Amino acid sequence: MIQRILKIRGLRHFSLAIVSAFAWLPYSGVARAQDDLQILSRIAFGSCAKQTDPCPIWETIADYQPELTLLLGDNVYADILDGRLKPATPQRIADAYATLAKDPGFARLRSCSPIMAVWDDHDYGNNDSGVEWEHKRPAAELFHDFFGTPADSPLRKQAGVYQARIFGPPGKRTQIILLDTRFFRSPLEKGTAPLPGFRALPYVPNTKPDATILGEAQWKWLEEQLRLPAEIRIIGSSIQVVSSEHPFEKWDNFPLERSRLFELIQRTAASGVVILSGDRHLGEISLEPLAVGYPLYDITASGLNQATQGWREVEPNQFRVAALPYGNHFGTVEIDWSSAVPLIKLQLRHEDGEIAVQTRVPLDVLTARPPSLPRPAGVLSVAEVLLVDEGAAVQVQFAVRGARAVSGDRWLLNSEIDFRNSRNFTAVLNRGGRSSLPPNASPDSLIGKTIRVNGNISLYNGSKQIQIDTESQWEIVSESGVGDGER
Ligand SMILES: [Fe+2]
């Protein structure tokens, strides 16, 4: 917007110098290896702000004085008309942004903090929509107009509104990667019966091999980004990455894409990744301990003014480590670069700015180890083996996340912490398969190790497993659980 004004005044050739002089200007989001020498130590983020409802939290965020604010989608609700969901027109999207621009709290935040944004479905213009949305191109133009993307930015020509920037000098770099989970996303698949405790029909895994969330161009770009040097990498995704059990929108509706993301982080040895997400009208911190070889946090801040107001039962989420299941809120990431090992504080804050939940993560905990043992050709991941028919002979490799002894002198080695998870695969280690283990070995001693198993797929209570009866059917290929290349 500022650049347009400058252009009108014939001052365009001064615009670059002026843009770098005023830190409050909206960032263009053009990805370069080293965008800005500013060290980030206070980042605010959030999602789900209905422009027609009061939103006092904009003032609270402005009071927090973030060095950068990340808006993770549903930044306006353009697809609601007369209180009902109705696909937006470009005019209604423009009107929704115009209403948000007039909000004094938002205007104040915009004047004191740079903002980087990505969209979700309601600002994209159509509830739960993806690649098929007819107005996605005008919606992208309106998005860029509102967030001040310069007219000559490559982002204006790119399909999809994904973007990235790196802040800070070597040793103190924070990379911001915002993913577009809408523009390329394949259609969702609906189940036929509600899950217990939910009214709506659930989305069920779309496992078609060509089904995608990011699309190939964005995947290629993401790999390039993850290979750039940075100490901390904040990946913003409008929908949750780690939480996998609720029936709504989430990465696990495309389990092969979720696996691909985890594998990509491992393969690029990208350290310091933290996921920020939105969409769910609740706040929570999820932690996937093994998927990328180090603890992967996903902090969901959803409800700048749309969170459920009364107490809300927490949803099933085996990865949840902290919950803020009601009340409007925003998230903050604080980075203390002064300690010997930089400390990251992941926080959710109430509408008045008070910290509701917090977890502290020393940066060295998020250290990538290159995948030591990638899967050889023909060895399947869990996501792949779950698609194989009963009776088929396969080889599968996975990290053991849960293990226990059951009657019949069998050890169940599970790919999920909770064996009831629909994404779980089990290797049943019978006595005949345990002869080479030390006498004091227990099921627990195998947790965290990566195993490769061969045998025929069988079914137990609808879950897929392989029975291991001889030593030749399995081996431990990594003691660390890193490099399992699966999920
Ligand atoms: Fe959403």
Three-class SS of 248-260: CCCHHHCHHHHHH
* Percent of the chain residues topping a pLDDT of 90: 74
What is the 121 CA–ligand 1 centroid distance (Å)? 5
Neighbour count for residue 145 (Cβ, 10 Å): 15
Lowest mean pLDDT among 80-84, 313-317, 418-422, 426-430: 418-422
Cite the DSSP H helix spans in 181-330. Answer: 215-227, 255-267
Pairing of strands 329-336, 343-350: antiparallel
What is the 119 CA–ligand 1 centroid distance (Å)? 9
Distance CA 442, CA 440 (A): 6
Is the predicted pLDDT of residue 483 greater than 50, yes or no?
no
373 — pLDDT class (breaks 50, 70, 90): low
* Among 60-74, 184-198, 358-372, 432-446, the range of highest mean pLDDT: 60-74
Residues 397, 398, 400, 405, CA torsion sign: negative
Residue 277, Cβ density class (10 Å: 0-12 exposed, 13-18 middle, ≥19 buried): buried
Residue 204 contacts residue 189 (beta carbons within 8 Å): yes
Distance CA 465, CA 269 (A): 31
What is the 114 CA–ligand 1 centroid distance (Å)? 23
Q: What are phi and psi of 343, to 5 degrees?
A: -110, 130
* pLDDT, tens digit, 9 for 90 and up, residues 32-68: 444 578 999 999 999 999 999 999 999 999 999 999 9
Pairing of strands 232-237, 174-178: parallel
Q: What are phi and psi of 312, to 5 degrees?
A: -125, 130
Is the predicted pLDDT of residue 3 greater than 50, yes or no?
no
Q: What is the pLDDT of residue 302?
A: 97
Lowest mean pLDDT among 211-225, 302-316, 343-357: 302-316
Q: What is the pLDDT of residue 200?
A: 84
* pLDDT, tens digit, 9 for 90 and up, residues 232-288: 999 999 999 999 999 999 999 999 999 999 999 998 999 999 999 999 999 999 999
Q: How many residues does the chain have?
A: 487
What is the 77 CA–ligand 1 centroid distance (Å)? 9
Q: What is the pLDDT of residue 480?
A: 63
Q: Which of 117, 133, 138 is nearest to 29 (CA)?
A: 117
What is the 320 CA–ligand 1 centroid distance (Å)? 20
371 — pLDDT class (breaks 50, 70, 90): low
How many contiguous H segments (helices) and E segments (strands) does the chain have?
A: 10, 25
Neighbour count for residue 322 (Cβ, 10 Å): 17
Is the predicted pLDDT of residue 440 greater than 90, yes or no?
no
What is the 95 CA–ligand 1 centroid distance (Å)? 19
Residue 167 contacts residue 35 (beta carbons within 8 Å): yes
What is the 130 CA–ligand 1 centroid distance (Å)? 11
Rounded to the nearest integer, the mean pLDDT of the chain is: 89
- 260 is written with which tokens? 């691909």
What is the 25 CA–ligand 1 centroid distance (Å)? 27
What is the 290 CA–ligand 1 centroid distance (Å)? 27
What is the 74 CA–ligand 1 centroid distance (Å)? 6
What is the 73 CA–ligand 1 centroid distance (Å)? 7
Is the predicted pLDDT of residue 30 greater than 50, yes or no?
no
Is the predicted pLDDT of residue 482 greater than 60, yes or no?
no
Helix/strand/coil for 14: helix
Does the pTM surpass 0.85? The reply is no
What is the 434 CA–ligand 1 centroid distance (Å)? 48
Domains in the chain with CATH codes: 25-366 (3.60.21.70), 379-478 (2.40.50.140)
Beta-ladder partners of 322: 285
Q: Which of 270, 327, 278 is nearest to 299 (CA)?
A: 278
What is the 280 CA–ligand 1 centroid distance (Å)? 7
What is the 129 CA–ligand 1 centroid distance (Å)? 9
What is the 31 CA–ligand 1 centroid distance (Å)? 25
Q: What is the pLDDT of residue 2?
A: 36
Q: What are phi and psi of 460, to 5 degrees?
A: -135, 115
- Mean pLDDT over 389-403 rounds to 91
What is the 3 CA–ligand 1 centroid distance (Å)? 30
What is the 281 CA–ligand 1 centroid distance (Å)? 9
The position carrying tokens 């020509």 is 157
Q: What are phi and psi of 322, to 5 degrees?
A: -160, 145
Distance CA 139, CA 442 (A): 56
Distance CA 244, CA 52 (A): 31
What is the 238 CA–ligand 1 centroid distance (Å)? 7
What is the 198 CA–ligand 1 centroid distance (Å)? 18
What is the 70 CA–ligand 1 centroid distance (Å)? 15
Residues within 5 A (CB) of ion ligand 1:
74, 120-121, 279
Q: DSSP letters along 117-173, please?
A: E---HHHHTSTT--TT-TTHHHHHHHHHHHHT--TT-GGGTSSS--EEEEESSTTS-
* pLDDT, tens digit, 9 for 90 and up, residues 99-157: 999 999 999 999 999 999 999 999 999 999 999 999 999 999 999 999 999 999 999 99
**4 vs 66 pLDDT, higher one:** 66
Q: Which of 209, 116, 224 is nearest to 167 (CA)?
A: 116
What is the 385 CA–ligand 1 centroid distance (Å)? 31
Q: What are phi and psi of 472, to 5 degrees?
A: -70, -10
Distance CA 428, CA 99 (A): 59
Q: What are phi and psi of 20, to 5 degrees?
A: -70, -20
Longest Cα separation, the chain: 83
**Segment holding 6, helix H or strand E:** helix 2-8
What is the 113 CA–ligand 1 centroid distance (Å)? 24
- Mean pLDDT over 368-391 rounds to 83
Residue 173 contacts residue 229 (beta carbons within 8 Å): yes
Chain-centroid distance of CA 481 in Å reads 22
What is the 115 CA–ligand 1 centroid distance (Å)? 19
Lowest mean pLDDT among 3-12, 242-251, 453-462: 3-12
